[in-house]
Chain A
Amino acid sequence: MIRAEGLKKRFGTTVALDGVDLDVPTGSILGVLGPNGAGKTTAVRILTTLSQPDDGSAWVAGHDVVRDAPAVQRSIGVTAQDATVDGLLTGRQNLVMVGRLSGLRRAEARVRADELLDQFDLTDAADRVLKGYSGGMRRRLDLAAGLVTRPPVLFLDEPTTGLDPTSRVRMWEVIRGLVAEGVTLLLTTQYLDEADELADRIVVIDHGRVIAEGTAAELKTATGGARLEVTLSQPSDTAAAALEPFVAGPVHVSHDGRRLRAPVRSGSGLATTVVRALDAAGVGVDDVEVHQPSLDDVFFSLTGHPSVEPDEAPGTGPSPAELEVARS
């Protein structure tokens, strides 16, 4: 449904895309994952006819994005990174305008706007000017604007960047609902947990190139196995030796001697075995955790740098811990 071959794009001397291939089968969700400046937005802009590639080709719903842009435009819904709704109009006026510019008659556009306002829980705010909307409401309206004509293909460029944890989880629910309806979706994100939550397949982009591709599970497997973390009641010299039979690499002991970390091969049943073994060795245990690798680990092992640069991290999104709170 969405296909790109060898997309290249440069802006001046900056290479934004350096030969990107993508393939999204009908009814599936592709997560395009990468840090700021990786080329995600450029790829989406090309696929949504906003930008033209310097080289390579792309097709959406069977139409060439350069040669048959109008046909592509009739098949897609877009939610871009910058709010693309009109701040001086009300929510309803925005949706009616988009409907009319998509070829709906005025009455049809009104009916469709009402449906969407209801679906996105914006009915109460429908007749307020957008200036009074929260960030989450604006994003939902932006997403709604992309759905006016029920397009079979959707592009969401960082749909939750800058949202608070509650709005973010809410947005995920909305996106899952769309997917249940059968749309084909390409989603870009800087958040590994988001790709993990929503996408069927993930493409990791860095510096304009695809550096890895697969399901979340495949990517995790590719980076290695699980990690065991044990917290002791008291520092113990015998603990590390007691763990040796279970680990797949060196045991790392923290400065205070209470926390031990080591790579392990299989996670299943491991925690119980470890507790028994440590108990038999006379070591008191406060906590045992077996971590499946996160996509953060994947990203780090693929690119050699964290997915979000430390100086960008504050304010750009919620931490997983915050999300747990928001979900409960």
Chain B
Amino acid sequence: MTVTALSPTSTARPPRSPGVVRRACDVAALTGRNLIHIAREPLQLSDVTVQPVLFTLLFVYVFGAGVVLPGGGTYADFAIAGLLALNLTTSAMGTAVGLSTDLNSGVIDRFRTLPMWRPAVLVGRSLADLLTATVCMAIVAVTGLCVGWRPGGSVGSTLAGFGLFLLFAYALSWGCACLGMVSKGPESAQGVGLVILFPLAIVSNALVPTQRMPTVLRTVADWNPVSAVTSAARQLWHNPNPSATIHAWPMQHPVEASLLWCAVLLLVFAPLATALYRRRTTE
């Protein structure tokens, strides 16, 4: 069979450049598309723009007035790492909502009839969400600097702290991708996401020291990946880190624990998301 009959003008069908390059092109095209979506609907972005500023100001001035840190230090110095964890964790819901929206619209059929790398839909989504997470992080950091937060370590360790947060946000977005795939629509994805992510962010050392929590809650908090990442950042930034005195392994080795958690999340959720996507788009 030939396709020559159909080319009265310009380019013929392109020679396919399969493999990694082609996959990267598909991912780039879809990442770009998701970023255009975000630019078109700035309200969607309020999760990562308005909310971080609001939370930072509220927590630092309201909670900060009442929390006494074991081991001393200012609440602003303590809280910024935690506020980053809180904002990045809750905004990961965007991945679930975005994917669910796509899966329930006709555009997914268009993607499915194109000769593209199928997981590009997921990877493109996760990369676009990584960029919004970066914006979110920058906003929290700038707001933090305005209210008196100062990272004390070297430039390298400061950047390492931010890098760890981004890695965690990226890993978490694959978990949320799974949620988007199993939920009926964007509303239910948002509802269920809130129920899972809010407790995940709050039952941790992000906003208050865990020492005075009830035993069960404290154990959960000390092994919570959010606590590990928060502790690691506090340690890297030389900020007050009351969890350093806790004997649980992740609190003694927060950087290692964070990396392990991220690896586990990615190794579990990325293949799971791909499998769920295939199942969801097979009829």
* Chain A residues with a Cβ under 8 A of chain B: 1, 27, 45, 48-52, 61-62, 70, 73-76, 78, 80, 82-89, 93, 97-98, 100-105, 108, 111-112, 115, 129, 145, 149-152, 181-183
Shortest CB distance A152–B (Å): 5
Evaluate contact between A98 and B283: CB separation under 8 angstroms: no
| B107 cross-chain contacts in A, Cβ below 8 A | 84-87
Set A73, A85, A93, A183: member contacting B36, Cβ < 8 A: A93
Shortest CB distance B6–A (Å): 5
Closest to B124 in A: A101
Closest to B33 in A: A97
Evaluate contact between A52 and B282: CB separation under 8 angstroms: yes
Shortest CB distance A307–B (Å): 25
The answer, yes or no, to whether B146 is at the interface (CB within 8 Å) is no
| B110 cross-chain contacts in A, Cβ below 8 A | 78, 80, 84-85, 98, 145
Set B1, B25, B41, B282: member contacting A62, Cβ < 8 A: B1
| A150 cross-chain contacts in B, Cβ below 8 A | 3, 6-7, 12-13
Evaluate contact between B10 and A115: CB separation under 8 angstroms: yes
Shortest CB distance A140–B (Å): 15
| B16 cross-chain contacts in A, Cβ below 8 A | 74, 103
Evaluate contact between A88 and B41: CB separation under 8 angstroms: yes
Choose the segment among B46-54, B60-68, B111-119, B173-181 that binds chain A (4+ C-beta atoms closer than 8 Å). Answer: B111-119
Shortest CB distance B281–A (Å): 8
Evaluate contact between B33 and A108: CB separation under 8 angstroms: no
Most interface-central of B6, B30, B110 (chain A CB within 10 A): B110
Closest to B28 in A: A100
Number of A-B contacts (CB under 8 A): 111
Set A101, A181, A182: member contacting B29, Cβ < 8 A: A101
Evaluate contact between B106 and A80: CB separation under 8 angstroms: yes
The answer, yes or no, to whether B278 is at the interface (CB within 8 Å) is no
Evaluate contact between A101 and B111: CB separation under 8 angstroms: yes
Evaluate contact between B40 and A73: CB separation under 8 angstroms: no
| B30 cross-chain contacts in A, Cβ below 8 A | 97, 101
Please, how many angstroms separate the alpha-carbon atoms of A127 and B113 in the complex?
A: 25
| A89 cross-chain contacts in B, Cβ below 8 A | 33, 36-37
Shortest CB distance B89–A (Å): 26
Evaluate contact between B109 and A80: CB separation under 8 angstroms: yes
* Chain B contacts with A in 65-123, Cβ cutoff 8 A: 105-107, 109-116, 120
The answer, yes or no, to whether B8 is at the interface (CB within 8 Å) is yes
Shortest CB distance B104–A (Å): 11
Set B11, B113, B282: member contacting A73, Cβ < 8 A: B113
Evaluate contact between A102 and B115: CB separation under 8 angstroms: yes
Evaluate contact between A52 and B283: CB separation under 8 angstroms: yes
Evaluate contact between A84 and B14: CB separation under 8 angstroms: no
Known: A129-B40, A183-B6. A101 touches B116 (CB 8 A): yes
Evaluate contact between A152 and B283: CB separation under 8 angstroms: no
Evaluate contact between B14 and A50: CB separation under 8 angstroms: no
| B33 cross-chain contacts in A, Cβ below 8 A | 86, 89, 93, 97
Evaluate contact between A88 and B106: CB separation under 8 angstroms: no
Evaluate contact between A82 and B114: CB separation under 8 angstroms: no
